[in-house]
Structure 1
Amino acid sequence: MYKNRKITVLSHILVWLLLFSMPYLLSYGQEQEVNRVLARFWIPLVFSAIIFYLNYFVLIDQCFFPKKMVLFITINVIIIAFFLFLKEYIEDNFFQDIIKKRSKDSVRSGPTFKMGIYIQVLSYMAPLLFSIAIKSTKRWAKTEAERKEAANFKLKSELQHLHYQLQPHFFFNSLNNIYALVDISPEQAKTSIHSLSKLMRYMLYETNVELISLSKEIDFLKKYIELMKLRVSDKTVVNYSFPAEETGIKIAPLLFISLIENAFKHGVSASKKSTINIEMICKEKTVYFTIKNDDFPKKIDDKSGSGIGLPNIEKRLELLYPKKYNFKTTLENNHFVSHLEIETN
């Protein structure tokens, strides 16, 4: 910010130096009368600078933006009228030789007094309008930056909320699964608790970032699938396939876990054979993730999950990958299919 302020001040100084040098730049190689340049150019330019900065630093903020237009116009009319009078007074009292020469020239071909006043008014209007334009542009840029910052803050807040919402959802579902193992297989329950602690450590300490390596996410998913397989019976077959090589892809964390949770929640039966097929493939920078499982709808009073999984992932995708994802779920011949494509570039 300090650097930008220095650049702005330097720019203003350079502009005014250029303007004050204009008579000599435009008449390079010709003789210039200092008094004439002072009276006809530099003094009006000083008045223009006063009009510009008075409006830029005071009047626009105090009157123009608050829409006190009558007061704003009145003050500027008084200032311009005062400078017109002051310019004539200075010329009449300090630059008599220029006045006499101008009177002789005006008899022959010079502009009338009214036309001269009109031109001077226009010359004072220019810095006024210029100050309004610059100040309005800066105000718009600041408002736009604040709007983007507010939108970005809202986005991060929503994502953080969804992230924190997912953690207890995941934790409670996993605890329910482990609880079912306590009486059936205490040793497996112990192993599951140990595995769950590793998964929770990953969720708590490694996923509080915008992007994470896809290989880390895959490792997390594999561990979760192995944890879930401990609970299901021999009648359930779980197949999964993930990229074996490092893809170099980075992705938002915890986007796929809800789909896997959903498959184990709705795709497993205690009495019937069931199959869950999980596949992830990567082509260039696009991730394709598909889960196909048997459909065993849960009863309304089933509390094995909170029901926030799929809405959560859809909302996160909208916020993280707008127009860069394709997510759809279909029911085909008693098989529930979830397909997610994400462009990560």
Structure 2
Amino acid sequence: MKQQVNSRPLEILIHIISWGIVFGLPFIFMERESNIIDWASYLRRTVVPFSFLIVFYVNYFIFIPRLLFSEQPRKYIIYNIILLVVIGLGLQVWQEIKVPPINFRPDNKRPLPPQWVFFIRDIVSLIFTIGLSAAIRMSGRWRESETARREAEKSRTEAELKNLRNQLNPHFLLNTLNNIYALISFDTDKAQQAVQELSKLLRHVLYDNQQTYVPLGKEADFIQNYIELMRIRLTNNVSVETQIDIRSDSKTNIAPLIFISLIENAFKHGISPTEPSFIRILLSEHKNEICCEITNSYHPKNKMDKSGSGIGLEQVQKRLELLYPGHYTWKKQISEDGKEYISKLNLTPLTI
């Protein structure tokens, strides 16, 4: 709606300029004697352009919006035929009264064409004017429809993203609380420390996650804090290596929590309670690309284990499609020996 209001003055200016040219042409080509303007002759010459103006705006403001846009094409055609006949006959009557017919040209004495030729000429010109009016009105309606469609699509996308964020927050909190619950049973001190770390993370989840994009530096700090929280419950047979090549003051915009589900997945499926395990996390920013590569030992859950429902990765895929369509690559694979799982997500930041 705001765009339509802003474009209204330009539309009016275009109409004024266009009709100014139409009514200015007779003035330019009119014969003058001693630089004296014959206004009576000019007014006679502008009757035809004035008839075009009437036909144009009767269609523009009445016939097209009330009949053609209301799906009444038959009435639209009939009313235009009546209008054409009335205007065409009116022009002929006026020309006979104000411009008496001349049977011969003064130069070569050849007779002028019959009056019906001029009538047909005027009718064809009026039909062209009606077509021009319809084309302009239809193009304007198409722009309005396209703007409305884009607004609806934007609203739908924003609503879907909000729904995804609302689903992701409880999912993230549930996984973290499960980790703290596991700590309580064997190390209450670490559990208390984990609760403190969780409070820091929740500030980011509750406030920053409500925005569509956050600075990459802030998101990197959140990821680092999350990894430290996960370390608390790990045993000595688990190796966690992190390499975060992100400047703390990086202002690159990134969707919040877009990488955290990948890291959660590594801690879920990359750690075995009995076998040596490892997790390697690399997060970097180079020129116009952000890379998150995670490699972990592969210990898939059995079918009876419901601790990981996979909702996190599904949400990541949906958010990527909504926020970074055509601007990301996400490769997931298991090594040939079946011992490592590799997830590599590359994003091209969007200009906000």
1:282 to 285, 295, 312: 285
Structure 1 counterpart of 2:40, from 12, 17, 35: 35
Q: What is the match of residue 244 of structure 2?
A: 242
2:297 matches 1:294: yes
Shift of 1:127: 1.7
**CA separation in 1, counterparts of 2:172 and 2:31?**
80
1:18 and 2:21 aligned: yes
Distance 1:55 1:67 in 2: 15
Where 1:300 maps in the other structure, the secondary structure is coil
- Cα distance in 2 for residues equivalent to 1:29 and 1:341: 74
Q: Distance in 1 between matches of 2:333 and 2:6?
A: 56
SS at match of 1:108: coil
Specify whether residues 195 and 273 from structure 1 end up closer, same or farther in structure 2 by C-alpha distance, changes over 3 A only.
same
Pick one of 341, 344, 348 that aligns with 1:339.
Answer: 344
CA contact (8 A) 2:213 2:253 kept: yes
Secondary structure of the 1:304 match is coil
Instruction: Please give the TM-score of this superposition, normalised by the length of structure 2.
Output: 0.90
1:97-112 to 2 correspondences below 5 Å: 98-100=99-101, 102-105=102-105, 108-112=110-114
CA distance in 2, matches of 1:268, 1:117: 90
Seen in structure 2, the aligned counterparts of structure 1 residues 28 and 239 have a Cα distance that, compared at 3 Å, is farther
Select which of 139, 142, 147 maps to 1:140. Answer: 142
2:92 paired residue number: 88
Residue aligning to 1:262 = 265
Pairing of 1:301-312 with structure 2 (within 5 A): 301-312=304-315
Cα distance in structure 2, aligned partners of 1:37 and 1:125: 24
Residues 32 and 77 of structure 1, relative CA distance in 2, 3 Å threshold: farther
Alpha-carbon distance, 1:29 to partner: 5.7
Are residues 329 and 28 of structure 1, via their aligned partners in 2, closer, same or farther at CA, if it must alter by over 3 Å?
farther
SS of structure 1 residue aligned to 2:19? helix
Equivalent residues of 1:169, 1:305 under 8 A apart: no
Asked whether 1:219 is paired with 2:221, we answer yes
Shift of 1:87: 2.3
- In 1, distance between residues paired with 2:62 and 2:190? 75
- Which residue, 102, 113, 116 being the options, matches 1:114? 116
Question: Cα gap change, 1:244/1:71 in structure 2, threshold over 3 Å: closer, same or farther?
Answer: closer
- Residue aligned with 2:326, SS: coil
Task: State the aligned residue count.
Answer: 340
Contact 2:180 2:195 in 1 (8 A): yes
* Contact 1:329–1:336, Cα closer than 8 Å, also in 2: yes
1:230 counterpart (226, 229, 232): 232
- Does the Cα contact within 8 Å between 2:30 and 2:42 map onto a contact in 1? no
Deviations 1:268-300 (A, max 9, x none): 111211111111222211112111111111122
Aligned residue runs from structure 1 range 174-185, under 5 A: 174-185=176-187
| Aligned residue number for residue 319 of structure 2 | 316
Larger CA deviation: 117-126 vs 253-262: 117-126
| Structure 2: tracts of 5 or more residues without a match | none
TM-score under structure 1 length normalisation: 0.92
The residue type equivalent to 1:343 in the other structure is T
Name the SS of the counterpart of 2:112 in structure 1: coil
Task: Describe the shift of the 1:3–1:296 C-alpha distance in structure 2 as closer, same or farther (beyond 3 A).
Answer: closer
Is the CA contact 2:32–2:38 (under 8 Å) kept in the aligned structure 1? no
In the alignment, residue 99 of structure 1 is paired with which amino acid?
P
CA distance in 2, matches of 1:164, 1:314: 16
Structure 1 spans left out of the alignment, 5+ residues: none
Q: Is contact 2:333-2:341 (8 Å) kept? A: yes
Q: Distance in 2 between matches of 1:138 and 1:217?
A: 44
Instruction: From the two aligned structures, give the one with the greater helix fraction.
Output: 1
Distance 2:8 2:326 in 1: 38
Deviates more, 1:132-141 or 1:320-329: 320-329
Q: Deviation string for 1:304-329 (max 9, x for gaps)?
A: 23321111111211221122211011
- Tell me, what secondary structure is at the counterpart of 1:240? strand
Moved more, 46-55 or 30-39: 30-39
Which stretch has the larger CA shift, 103-112 or 200-209? 103-112
Match of 1:44 in 2: 48
- Determine the structure 1 residue equivalent to 2:166: 164
Query: Residues of 2 paired with 1:28 and 1:183: CA distance?
Result: 105
* Other-structure match for 1:204: 206
Q: Deviations over 1:63-112 (max 9, x none)?
A: 2233422211111111111112222333444x2xx215x34449734222
Of structures 1 and 2, the one with the larger relative CO (CA 8 A, separation 6+) is 1
Deviation of 1:218 after TM superposition, in Å, equals: 0.8
CA contact (8 A) 1:169 1:306 kept: no
